[in-house]
Amino acid sequence: MKKICVIGSLNMDLVVNVDTMPKKGQTLIGSNFKEVPGGKGANQAVAMARLNGDVSMIGKVGNDGFGKALINALENDKVNTDYIQIEEGSSGVALISVDKNAENSIVVAPGANFKLTNSDIDKNIEAITNSDIVVLQLETPLETIKYALNVAKKASKYTILNPAPAVILEDELIANVDLLTPNETELEIISGMQINNEEDIKKAAQIMIEKGVKELIVTLGSKGSLYINKEKSIFKKACKVEAIDTTAAGDSYTGALAVAFAQGKKVEKAMDFASKVGALTVQREGAQSSLPTLKDVESFRG
Protein backbone atom coordinates (compact mmCIF):
# COMPACT_ATOMS: atom_id res chain seq x y z
CA MET A 1 0.00 0.00 0.00
CA LYS A 2 1.48 3.34 -1.08
CA LYS A 3 1.17 6.33 1.25
CA ILE A 4 -1.10 9.31 0.52
CA CYS A 5 -0.77 12.95 1.57
CA VAL A 6 -3.83 15.20 1.41
CA ILE A 7 -3.26 18.96 1.34
CA GLY A 8 -6.45 20.91 1.83
CA SER A 9 -9.32 22.27 3.83
CA LEU A 10 -11.04 21.39 7.10
CA ASN A 11 -14.49 22.87 7.75
CA MET A 12 -17.23 22.36 10.27
CA ASP A 13 -20.38 21.83 8.21
CA LEU A 14 -23.53 23.39 9.68
CA VAL A 15 -26.27 21.45 7.93
CA VAL A 16 -30.01 22.10 7.80
CA ASN A 17 -32.69 20.22 5.84
CA VAL A 18 -35.23 22.22 3.83
CA ASP A 19 -38.09 21.27 1.50
CA THR A 20 -36.92 23.69 -1.20
CA MET A 21 -34.02 26.12 -1.50
CA PRO A 22 -34.89 29.67 -0.34
CA LYS A 23 -35.42 32.37 -2.94
CA LYS A 24 -33.88 35.83 -2.64
CA GLY A 25 -35.19 37.53 0.53
CA GLN A 26 -37.10 34.45 1.65
CA THR A 27 -36.94 32.87 5.11
CA LEU A 28 -37.73 29.16 5.42
CA ILE A 29 -38.24 26.91 8.42
CA GLY A 30 -35.74 24.07 8.20
CA SER A 31 -35.26 20.92 10.25
CA ASN A 32 -32.63 18.45 11.47
CA PHE A 33 -29.78 20.87 12.17
CA LYS A 34 -26.42 19.10 12.55
CA GLU A 35 -22.74 19.97 13.02
CA VAL A 36 -20.77 17.59 10.80
CA PRO A 37 -16.98 17.64 10.24
CA GLY A 38 -16.26 18.45 6.60
CA GLY A 39 -14.07 20.43 4.22
CA LYS A 40 -13.03 18.88 0.93
CA GLY A 41 -9.51 18.06 2.10
CA ALA A 42 -10.62 16.46 5.36
CA ASN A 43 -13.49 14.62 3.64
CA GLN A 44 -11.09 13.08 1.15
CA ALA A 45 -8.61 12.14 3.89
CA VAL A 46 -11.34 10.45 5.94
CA ALA A 47 -12.70 8.69 2.84
CA MET A 48 -9.22 7.26 2.23
CA ALA A 49 -8.68 6.25 5.86
CA ARG A 50 -12.03 4.43 6.07
CA LEU A 51 -11.03 2.49 2.95
CA ASN A 52 -7.83 1.43 4.79
CA GLY A 53 -5.64 4.02 3.06
CA ASP A 54 -2.44 5.18 4.77
CA VAL A 55 -3.06 8.94 4.82
CA SER A 56 -1.56 12.10 6.33
CA MET A 57 -3.00 15.59 6.04
CA ILE A 58 -1.52 19.07 5.75
CA GLY A 59 -3.95 21.88 6.67
CA LYS A 60 -4.95 24.54 9.19
CA VAL A 61 -7.72 25.01 11.74
CA GLY A 62 -8.52 27.87 14.10
CA ASN A 63 -7.93 27.89 17.85
CA ASP A 64 -11.67 27.49 18.47
CA GLY A 65 -13.94 24.63 19.45
CA PHE A 66 -14.52 23.68 15.83
CA GLY A 67 -10.77 23.31 15.28
CA LYS A 68 -10.40 20.82 18.12
CA ALA A 69 -13.45 18.87 16.92
CA LEU A 70 -12.12 18.73 13.35
CA ILE A 71 -8.74 17.35 14.42
CA ASN A 72 -10.39 14.85 16.78
CA ALA A 73 -12.64 13.61 13.96
CA LEU A 74 -9.63 12.93 11.73
CA GLU A 75 -7.76 11.15 14.52
CA ASN A 76 -10.80 8.98 15.23
CA ASP A 77 -10.56 7.77 11.63
CA LYS A 78 -6.80 7.17 11.93
CA VAL A 79 -5.72 10.05 9.68
CA ASN A 80 -2.24 11.29 10.64
CA THR A 81 -2.84 14.86 11.91
CA ASP A 82 0.80 15.68 12.81
CA TYR A 83 0.94 18.19 9.95
CA ILE A 84 -2.27 20.11 10.75
CA GLN A 85 -1.46 23.47 12.32
CA ILE A 86 -3.59 25.57 14.67
CA GLU A 87 -3.93 29.24 13.68
CA GLU A 88 -5.19 32.19 15.73
CA GLY A 89 -8.82 32.88 14.76
CA SER A 90 -11.72 30.86 13.43
CA SER A 91 -11.79 27.50 11.70
CA GLY A 92 -13.43 27.08 8.32
CA VAL A 93 -17.22 26.81 8.37
CA ALA A 94 -19.65 25.66 5.67
CA LEU A 95 -23.35 26.55 5.75
CA ILE A 96 -25.20 23.76 3.94
CA SER A 97 -28.87 23.47 2.98
CA VAL A 98 -30.09 20.09 1.74
CA ASP A 99 -33.47 19.91 -0.02
CA LYS A 100 -35.95 17.02 -0.30
CA ASN A 101 -34.41 15.98 -3.65
CA ALA A 102 -31.01 15.49 -1.96
CA GLU A 103 -29.52 18.51 -3.74
CA ASN A 104 -27.41 20.88 -1.69
CA SER A 105 -26.48 24.56 -1.55
CA ILE A 106 -23.23 25.49 0.20
CA VAL A 107 -21.64 28.74 1.42
CA VAL A 108 -18.12 28.45 2.83
CA ALA A 109 -16.33 30.86 5.23
CA PRO A 110 -12.73 29.61 4.80
CA GLY A 111 -11.29 30.87 8.11
CA ALA A 112 -7.93 29.25 8.86
CA ASN A 113 -7.93 27.36 5.54
CA PHE A 114 -7.01 30.55 3.69
CA LYS A 115 -4.03 31.09 5.99
CA LEU A 116 -2.21 28.03 4.63
CA THR A 117 1.01 29.38 3.07
CA ASN A 118 4.03 28.21 1.08
CA SER A 119 6.08 28.24 4.29
CA ASP A 120 3.54 25.86 5.85
CA ILE A 121 4.20 23.46 2.97
CA ASP A 122 7.96 23.76 3.55
CA LYS A 123 7.47 23.28 7.29
CA ASN A 124 5.54 20.06 6.68
CA ILE A 125 7.39 18.82 3.60
CA GLU A 126 8.03 15.49 5.33
CA ALA A 127 4.36 14.61 4.77
CA ILE A 128 4.91 15.00 1.01
CA THR A 129 8.30 13.32 0.76
CA ASN A 130 7.11 10.33 2.85
CA SER A 131 4.10 9.82 0.55
CA ASP A 132 3.69 8.40 -2.94
CA ILE A 133 0.45 10.17 -3.92
CA VAL A 134 -0.40 13.82 -3.15
CA VAL A 135 -4.05 14.95 -3.35
CA LEU A 136 -5.27 18.58 -3.40
CA GLN A 137 -8.50 20.56 -3.89
CA LEU A 138 -9.24 24.30 -4.26
CA GLU A 139 -10.43 25.38 -0.78
CA THR A 140 -7.01 26.77 0.21
CA PRO A 141 -5.07 29.66 -1.44
CA LEU A 142 -4.25 29.02 -5.12
CA GLU A 143 -0.69 30.27 -4.66
CA THR A 144 -0.14 27.63 -1.95
CA ILE A 145 -1.73 24.92 -4.11
CA LYS A 146 0.52 25.85 -7.03
CA TYR A 147 3.58 25.76 -4.77
CA ALA A 148 2.60 22.42 -3.19
CA LEU A 149 2.06 20.81 -6.61
CA ASN A 150 5.46 22.05 -7.73
CA VAL A 151 7.10 20.63 -4.58
CA ALA A 152 5.30 17.30 -5.06
CA LYS A 153 6.36 16.97 -8.70
CA LYS A 154 9.98 17.85 -7.89
CA ALA A 155 9.82 14.99 -5.38
CA SER A 156 8.46 12.71 -8.16
CA LYS A 157 5.06 12.18 -6.51
CA TYR A 158 1.85 11.27 -8.36
CA THR A 159 -0.45 14.28 -8.04
CA ILE A 160 -4.25 14.35 -8.02
CA LEU A 161 -6.18 17.63 -8.16
CA ASN A 162 -9.90 17.72 -7.48
CA PRO A 163 -10.66 21.21 -8.92
CA ALA A 164 -13.47 22.17 -6.55
CA PRO A 165 -14.78 24.74 -6.02
CA ALA A 166 -13.78 25.44 -9.63
CA VAL A 167 -11.92 28.58 -10.68
CA ILE A 168 -9.77 29.42 -13.70
CA LEU A 169 -6.30 28.00 -13.05
CA GLU A 170 -2.84 29.14 -14.15
CA ASP A 171 -1.09 26.94 -16.72
CA GLU A 172 1.88 26.64 -14.34
CA LEU A 173 -0.39 25.03 -11.73
CA ILE A 174 -2.12 22.72 -14.23
CA ALA A 175 1.21 21.50 -15.66
CA ASN A 176 2.03 19.74 -12.36
CA VAL A 177 -1.21 17.73 -12.19
CA ASP A 178 -1.10 14.04 -13.12
CA LEU A 179 -4.79 13.28 -12.57
CA LEU A 180 -7.61 15.84 -12.65
CA THR A 181 -11.01 14.80 -11.19
CA PRO A 182 -13.61 17.46 -12.10
CA ASN A 183 -17.35 17.13 -12.55
CA GLU A 184 -18.90 18.50 -15.76
CA THR A 185 -19.45 22.01 -14.38
CA GLU A 186 -15.93 22.22 -12.97
CA LEU A 187 -14.43 21.04 -16.27
CA GLU A 188 -16.41 23.72 -18.09
CA ILE A 189 -15.01 26.45 -15.82
CA ILE A 190 -11.37 25.35 -15.82
CA SER A 191 -11.26 24.60 -19.57
CA GLY A 192 -13.19 27.74 -20.57
CA MET A 193 -15.35 25.62 -22.90
CA GLN A 194 -19.12 25.18 -22.81
CA ILE A 195 -20.12 21.54 -22.37
CA ASN A 196 -23.36 20.10 -23.76
CA ASN A 197 -22.51 16.46 -24.48
CA GLU A 198 -19.89 13.73 -24.15
CA GLU A 199 -17.98 14.94 -27.21
CA ASP A 200 -17.64 18.37 -25.58
CA ILE A 201 -16.30 16.73 -22.41
CA LYS A 202 -13.60 14.99 -24.45
CA LYS A 203 -12.66 18.24 -26.22
CA ALA A 204 -12.50 20.15 -22.91
CA ALA A 205 -10.38 17.35 -21.44
CA GLN A 206 -7.94 17.60 -24.34
CA ILE A 207 -7.56 21.33 -23.61
CA MET A 208 -6.41 20.40 -20.11
CA ILE A 209 -4.12 17.65 -21.43
CA GLU A 210 -2.47 20.15 -23.79
CA LYS A 211 -1.75 22.27 -20.68
CA GLY A 212 0.09 19.36 -19.05
CA VAL A 213 -2.50 17.20 -17.24
CA LYS A 214 -1.70 13.52 -17.87
CA GLU A 215 -5.22 12.12 -17.42
CA LEU A 216 -8.72 13.06 -16.27
CA ILE A 217 -11.61 11.25 -14.65
CA VAL A 218 -14.74 13.37 -15.13
CA THR A 219 -17.62 12.54 -12.79
CA LEU A 220 -21.06 12.69 -14.41
CA GLY A 221 -23.34 12.31 -11.38
CA SER A 222 -25.95 9.57 -11.77
CA LYS A 223 -24.73 8.85 -15.33
CA GLY A 224 -21.29 7.62 -14.31
CA SER A 225 -17.73 8.72 -14.99
CA LEU A 226 -15.41 9.16 -17.98
CA TYR A 227 -11.65 8.53 -18.07
CA ILE A 228 -9.69 10.47 -20.69
CA ASN A 229 -6.01 10.62 -21.60
CA LYS A 230 -4.19 11.56 -24.80
CA GLU A 231 -4.91 8.23 -26.50
CA LYS A 232 -8.25 6.92 -25.23
CA SER A 233 -11.40 7.34 -23.15
CA ILE A 234 -13.25 4.86 -20.92
CA PHE A 235 -16.86 5.31 -19.76
CA LYS A 236 -18.16 3.67 -16.59
CA LYS A 237 -21.82 3.64 -15.57
CA ALA A 238 -22.79 4.77 -12.07
CA CYS A 239 -24.28 2.35 -9.56
CA LYS A 240 -28.06 2.82 -9.40
CA VAL A 241 -29.11 3.98 -5.93
CA GLU A 242 -31.65 6.31 -4.32
CA ALA A 243 -29.75 9.46 -3.32
CA ILE A 244 -30.55 11.10 0.03
CA ASP A 245 -27.76 13.69 0.22
CA THR A 246 -25.06 14.35 -2.42
CA THR A 247 -22.73 16.18 0.01
CA ALA A 248 -19.19 14.72 -0.19
CA ALA A 249 -20.02 12.45 -3.15
CA GLY A 250 -17.19 13.94 -5.22
CA ASP A 251 -14.84 13.85 -2.23
CA SER A 252 -15.53 10.18 -1.59
CA TYR A 253 -14.99 9.38 -5.28
CA THR A 254 -11.62 11.16 -5.43
CA GLY A 255 -10.57 9.61 -2.11
CA ALA A 256 -11.49 6.14 -3.35
CA LEU A 257 -9.51 6.64 -6.56
CA ALA A 258 -6.42 7.60 -4.54
CA VAL A 259 -6.71 4.46 -2.39
CA ALA A 260 -7.28 2.24 -5.42
CA PHE A 261 -4.16 3.65 -7.11
CA ALA A 262 -2.22 3.28 -3.85
CA GLN A 263 -3.18 -0.41 -3.94
CA GLY A 264 -1.89 -0.71 -7.52
CA LYS A 265 -5.30 -1.04 -9.18
CA LYS A 266 -5.58 -0.18 -12.90
CA VAL A 267 -7.83 2.73 -13.88
CA GLU A 268 -10.95 0.69 -14.79
CA LYS A 269 -10.90 -1.21 -11.48
CA ALA A 270 -10.23 2.06 -9.64
CA MET A 271 -13.28 3.66 -11.27
CA ASP A 272 -15.49 0.69 -10.39
CA PHE A 273 -14.32 0.90 -6.78
CA ALA A 274 -14.84 4.68 -6.62
CA SER A 275 -18.33 4.37 -8.13
CA LYS A 276 -19.36 2.02 -5.33
CA VAL A 277 -17.94 4.38 -2.70
CA GLY A 278 -19.76 7.36 -4.25
CA ALA A 279 -23.04 5.40 -4.41
CA LEU A 280 -22.82 4.48 -0.75
CA THR A 281 -22.00 8.09 0.20
CA VAL A 282 -25.12 9.62 -1.40
CA GLN A 283 -27.36 7.20 0.51
CA ARG A 284 -26.37 8.82 3.82
CA GLU A 285 -26.59 12.35 5.18
CA GLY A 286 -23.71 14.72 5.87
CA ALA A 287 -20.08 14.95 4.80
CA GLN A 288 -17.75 12.72 6.81
CA SER A 289 -20.76 11.07 8.46
CA SER A 290 -21.76 9.67 5.05
CA LEU A 291 -18.39 8.16 4.07
CA PRO A 292 -18.36 4.35 3.91
CA THR A 293 -15.82 1.88 5.28
CA LEU A 294 -14.05 -0.76 3.21
CA LYS A 295 -16.34 -3.36 4.78
CA ASP A 296 -19.38 -1.37 3.54
CA VAL A 297 -17.96 -1.33 0.02
CA GLU A 298 -17.10 -5.03 -0.01
CA SER A 299 -20.68 -5.92 0.97
CA PHE A 300 -22.29 -3.47 -1.50
CA ARG A 301 -24.20 -5.06 -4.37
CA GLY A 302 -25.11 -2.00 -6.43
Which residues are part of the catalytic machinery?
A: 251
H or E stretch at 3: strand 3-7
Sign of CA dihedral 147, 149, 153, 155: positive
Output b/e per residue, 155-168; b: 16+ Cβ within 10 A: eebbbbbbbbebee
SS3 of the chain: helix, strand, coil, percent, to 5: 40, 25, 35
- Separation of alpha carbons 40 and 57, rounded Å: 12
Count of residues for the chain? 302
Q: 3-class DSSP state for residue 171?
A: helix
Give Cβ neighbours of residue 74 (< 8 Å, ≥ 6 apart).
Answer: 10, 37, 42, 45, 46, 49, 57, 81, 84
> Do 118 and 146 touch, CB atoms closer than 8 A?
no
Q: 3-class DSSP state for residue 55?
A: strand
